[in-house]
């Protein structure tokens, strides 16, 4: 059987006392659900290895939950088991705790506890992207004023060290765009619908049972969770504070299976993407279902996996792939932050890696480009009666309004034998140009029902 052989006590010459082991980093865990229990399990299992890397032990001293009985089944009764409490306030001001790991979720109590922890001089590690997207400015400012760290690798694309990549690995680069699949639940649902023919509700129920979904899964399927994460990626890529309220968000709830099938016949796959991109002196910040060429690397990301692609001036395109949700997968990222802290806690604040990657010059916000001005190719589906007469008129109208059609494919309507679906792929253009053309044709009596409009990206 494999046994850790790591030891923290340096060997000492014969007859001399061994040097004292360095003081452990003492952790208080706020929450012991999916992420909390995954973090605890990995810290226990790999304790010696983690200590060898960190230079000192990382010990969970206290755990706060609501349901003590359930938490006892996770922690067990062994000697050295952390103190369990249902009073999170006691944890955040305990003198037995150096760093508070917030993995309880939410933005109300979590915000207040994190601010209290900071006020008591505790470092904070959190996987709570909603908290940082909404209250990051306040929390990072409080941490800076108190000289403590707020670390959050687990908040974005869990097992992928993307915050470290942007903040440290790509630090030499002017980043052009960051784009990725950053919500595991919605990618799991889209994959299950496509690969196993599962319905939306059944696929979501599976994702929930596997612990991938947020406490309120509306955050996953409506794109909010991806928008939270995108705002953190953009902050690190472009040196802004979180601009979460400005992210254009569209989730997967309105995705029509017929469009997925039609797009596949044209060689495209549908993915929920988050895209943050320089645009003049501002930014595009958007989350929406997107068609990608089927050969694109991001189109190969299935199930709850995530992937983030970064285009930067010196490194070029880099790609990061890994689990997008899950207990130990997130625990891995939380512990990476704890190891960074164990190594750097004694440094002066100015010597630590800055929270958002920029030691100076962080801007409160860059102008965000509205959806109408963002250019891309589009997939458009129109449901028609009398297609022989209507299709030529549609093409004439689009051409007159400056919309260049690159490909066109007619299909039987998925449920109404009287109708035809006309699928069009446009050349890149702004939505501002496409919208009036579509409004004109939708007003005709032979153009019926809902017209799907999806962005198509090449991310080349
Ligand atoms: P869970 O619902 O599984 O766990 C939440 C934990 O917090 C539970 O132990 C719960 O206690 C505790 N808790 C909640 N409210 C309170 C309270 N008022 N007082 C004390 N304890 C409380 O959530 P997850 O582990 O899935 O998610 C936690 C955070 O991590 C969220 O911010 C989420 O967005 C984020 N995250 C989740 C990932 C995932 O894959 N699930 C991945 C990355 C980030 P009790 O059980 O007793 O109710
Ligand atoms: N609910 C989130 C997701 C968890 O599915 O991506 C990881 O942040």
Give the integer Cα–Cα distance in Å for 235 and 243: 8
The one catalytic residue in 122, 129, 229, 277 is 229
Output the DSSP codes for 379-397: EEEEEESSHHHHHHHHHHH
Residue 163 has pLDDT above 70, yes or no: yes
Percent of the chain with pLDDT over 70: 96
Q: Ligand 1, residues 103, 186, 334: which to mutate, most atoms within 8 A of Cβ?
A: 103
Distance spanning both ends of the chain, measured CA to CA: 47
Of the pLDDT bands very low, low, confident and very high (cuts 50, 70, 90), residue 166 is very high
Residue 293: its pLDDT value, please? 98
Give the integer Cα–Cα distance in Å for 182 and 230: 8
Comparing CA positions, the residue from 345, 350, 320, 314 lying closest to residue 333 is 320
Give the integer Cα–Cα distance in Å for 171 and 142: 25
Residue 2: its pLDDT value, please? 40
Of the pLDDT bands very low, low, confident and very high (cuts 50, 70, 90), residue 116 is very high
On average, the pLDDT of the chain sits at: 94
Residue 451 has pLDDT above 80, yes or no: no
Residue 6: its pLDDT value, please? 55
**How many angstroms does the Cα of residue 335 sit away from the middle of ligand 2?**
18
CB contact at 8 A, 188 and 221? no
Q: Would the CB of 383 count as within 6 Å of ligand 2?
A: no
Q: Ligand 1, residues 37, 38, 64, 66: which to mutate, most atoms within 8 A of Cβ?
A: 66
């Amino acid at each position: 059987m494999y046994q850790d052989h790591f030891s923290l006590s340096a060997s000492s010459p014969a007859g001399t006392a061994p040097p004292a082991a360095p003081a452990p980093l003492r952790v208080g865990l706020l929450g012991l659900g999916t992420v909390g229990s995954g973090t605890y399990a990995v810290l226990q299992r790999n304790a010696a290895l983690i200590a060898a890397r960190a230079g000192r032990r990382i010990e969970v001293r206290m755990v706060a939950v609501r349901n003590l009985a359930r938490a006892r089944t996770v922690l067990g009764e062994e000697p050295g088991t952390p103190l369990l409490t249902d009073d999170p306030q006691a944890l955040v001001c305990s003198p037995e705790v150096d760093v508070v790991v917030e993995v309880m979720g939410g933005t109300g109590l979590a915000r207040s506890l994190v601010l209290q922890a900071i006020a008591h001089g505790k470092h904070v590690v959190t996987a709570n992207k909603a908290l940082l997207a909404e209250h990051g400015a306040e929390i990072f400012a409080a941490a800076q004023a108190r000289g403590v760290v707020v670390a959050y690798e687990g908040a974005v694309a869990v097992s992928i060290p993307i915050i470290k990549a942007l903040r440290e690995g790509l630090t030499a680069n002017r980043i052009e765009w960051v784009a990725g699949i950053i919500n595991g639940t919605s990618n799991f649902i889209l994959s299950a619908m496509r690969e196993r023919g599962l319905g939306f509700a059944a696929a979501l129920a599976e994702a929930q049972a596997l612990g991938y979904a947020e406490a309120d899964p509306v955050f996953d399927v409506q794109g909010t969770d991806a928008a939270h994460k995108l705002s953190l990626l953009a902050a690190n890529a472009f040196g802004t504070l979180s601009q979460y309220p400005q992210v254009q968000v569209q989730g997967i709830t309105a995705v029509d299976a017929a469009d997925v099938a039609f797009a596949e016949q044209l060689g495209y796959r549908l993915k929920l993407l988050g895209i943050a991109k320089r645009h003049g002196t501002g930014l595009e910040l958007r989350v929406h279902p997107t068609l990608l060429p089927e050969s694109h690397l991001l189109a190969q990301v299935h199930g709850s996996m995530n992937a983030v692609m970064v285009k930067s001036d010196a490194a070029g395109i880099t790609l990061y792939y890994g689990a997008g949700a899950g207990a130990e997968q997130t625990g891995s990222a939380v512990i990476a932050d704890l190891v960074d802290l164990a190594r750097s806690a004694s440094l002066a604040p100015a010597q630590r890696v800055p929270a958002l990657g920029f030691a100076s010059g962080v801007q409160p916000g860059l102008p965000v480009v509205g959806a109408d001005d963002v250019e891309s190719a589009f997939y458009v589906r129109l449901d028609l009666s009398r297609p022989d007469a209507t299709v030529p008129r549609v093409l004439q109208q689009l051409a007159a309004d400056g919309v260049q059609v690159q490909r066109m494919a007619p299909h039987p309507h998925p449920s109404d034998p009287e109708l035809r679906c006309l699928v069009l792929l446009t050349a890149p253009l702004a939505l501002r140009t496409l919208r009036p053309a579509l409004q004109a044709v939708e007003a005709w009596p032979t153009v019926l029902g809902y017209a799907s409009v999806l962005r198509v990206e090449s991310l080349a």
